A = this chain, B = another copy of it.
């Protein structure tokens, strides 16, 4: 009897704690112009609780999806339940389900060869490879970047960005890219000086992936790190701010100053003990860690500190990148005078990878390399995604929908102060806290059974991660259902 390992990861505990029957009332059907049924649906439609009988029949416990039937902002499951998706496969669906522009890419006979035969992109790329990068990734490169390196996923992107940083730092220390014979010899056997004792500074609450290098900079939940050997690298506190940020500027600024001072102290101390800090890695909003924000000023000052101490500044935009904050890259809100050194991405960008400044390009081929270096099929899809974002003006839409969401969340926390707090967000990249973890999980389930898919983050937050095609209409619909779910919590 085959038991699939994946089944372990299904949200067993949560799904079995509660089951509900329900009905759904819409109150905002009037708002914006509705998309026609061919592109999307006109609202959620629930036939069973989730997981329903067909989901359960596939594997013991879970929630299986019908990706052929899903459309736009609506995820359809195998029991025919149609749910407004405000989680989008852990924030990784950029322009909704089955967007016609993407279906066209998939059915274009010209693309078949690339889809069927996966090229080793570093060795034998397809002819249109450069063109697709120019019209895709490079067309949305953050200011200051003219180089990009593709990778397959977020973890691989950060792992290789870390390597690019270490290589850059050692070349700088050495004054030449040419290693000594001793460095060459010792590198193969994991010893100094070939494998130097450099470090990366990361922040408490940060999440940068789950492979061993990334995991050394991830500090969210014990379950992700327990029992896995790690690197002893400096960890700085991330500002714990009060929301809305604008209302607590003075005390938030103090908290940020405290954290920045700690960052600088750590860099100085670790450099002094010979375990140099080669770089600093940070998210524009700590997502998995609980949607923790810091002010744009904090990030500008942090960039200044890295510059002062010769550390690389790596901005991890794996979850924040791709437009949901209303700018294509969340760090573009900061208004940096001096761009970051590396910006990593994945999820809504479909491919993984990172932008890098020229000086981070390794001096020799094959220092940053692997078999596939990403997946060209994702580059083809991304090029269309970017076209759609531009022609449909989706960054502006994210701003407008985000405004509706955030105002709605403020209203809800005013209405239910004993349950909800700390509503926060930029664009549609919003979150709210629930009074405790159990209530949060309970609320996510209630919302799902009423036709809204949500995801948690941190210990007691709910993160909202709609696709870029999420309109003000969808925002109202979501808020109505969310309100109904909260009301049932009593």
Contacts and interface: CB of A to CB of B under 8 A. Distances in A.
Interface in A186-225: 187-191, 194-199, 204, 209-214, 216, 219-225
A365 B75 contact: no
Contacts of A107: 107, 112
Q: How large is the interface on A (under 10, 10 to 19, 20 to 34, 35 or more residues)?
A: 35 or more
A366 B9 contact: yes
Contact of A92 (B6, B126, B149, B372): B372
28 contacts: A3-B146, A3-B147, A6-B121, A6-B150, A11-B365, A64-B125, A64-B127, A68-B112, A68-B113, A89-B118, A89-B119, A89-B120, A92-B118, A97-B113, A153-B156, A156-B211, A163-B227, A179-B226, A183-B222, A185-B222, A189-B219, A190-B225, A191-B232, A194-B226, A196-B229, A212-B212, A223-B367, A375-B375
A89 to B, nearest CB: 4
A117 interface: yes
Residue in A9, A114, A159 whose Cβ sees the most chain B Cβ within 10 Å: A9
A58 interface: yes
Given A6-B121, A356-B5, A229 B113 contact: no
Residue in A75, A209, A227 whose Cβ sees the most chain B Cβ within 10 Å: A227
A162 B212 contact: yes
A195 B225 contact: yes
A170 B365 CA distance: 39
A120 B66 CA distance: 13
Interface stretch (A29-37, A130-138, A256-264, A477-485): A130-138
Contact of A231 (B3, B123, B229): B229
- Main secondary structure, interface of A, reads loop
Contact of A124 (B75, B121, B147, B373): B75
Contact of A369 (B9, B123, B138, B169): B9
A230 interface: yes
A99 interface: yes
B198 A229 contact: yes
Contacts of A93: 117-118
A16 B151 CA distance: 27
B210 A213 contact: no
A390 to B, nearest CB: 18
Nearest to A226: B187
A364 interface: yes
A404 B418 CA distance: 77
Given A117-B67, A212-B162, A184 B222 contact: yes
B67 A126 contact: yes
A344 to B, nearest CB: 13
A413 interface: no
A146 B2 contact: yes
Given A68-B110, A118-B92, A125-B64, A229 B2 contact: no
Contacts of A147: 3-5
B366 A223 contact: yes
Interface string A1-23: 11111101111110000000000
A211 B212 contact: yes
A34 B126 CA distance: 28
Contacts of A62: 125
A393 to B, nearest CB: 22
Given A68-B112, A98-B116, A155-B211, A130 B229 contact: no
A359 interface: no
Contact of A123 (B90, B114, B356): B90
